[in-house]
Amino acid sequence: MEKSADSGSNDGEFPPRKRLEAPNHRLIKAGIATIPDMETLQKCVAYENAHQNRTQILRRLKWKAEELREDEE
């Protein structure tokens, strides 16, 4: 059986909880920087809104969304 409660289809080993609940700010920044696609980003935003709702983290996620959109063009 697969364990997929909080994992993405391509991101099963690094779900939003692991990206955003790291023990220090530098690891959270790295977790956000390595988000590969909009689907993963949306899951991270949803997780952050539901759990911590930290303004700085949401701002970084917004910047990452802008970066991903630019890469799509």
pLDDT value at position 12?
Answer: 56
Phi/psi for 22 (5° steps) reads -70, 155
The per-residue pLDDT for range 3-51, each reduced to its tens digit, is: 444 434 454 578 999 999 999 999 999 999 999 999 999 999 999 999 9
pTM, 2 dp: 0.81
pLDDT number for residue 10 = 53
For residue 9 the two structure tokens come to 């289809």
61: containing domain: 38-72
Residue 56 is assigned to a structural domain of this protein? yes
Number of domains making up the chain:
1
Write down the pLDDT at residue 73. Answer: 83
pLDDT of 4 = 41
Q: Is residue 29 part of a domain?
A: no
> Is 3 part of any domain?
no
Considering the domain boundaries, does residue 62 fall inside one? Answer: yes
Nearest to 28 by CA among 1, 47, 6, 3: 47
In a domain, 51, yes or no: yes
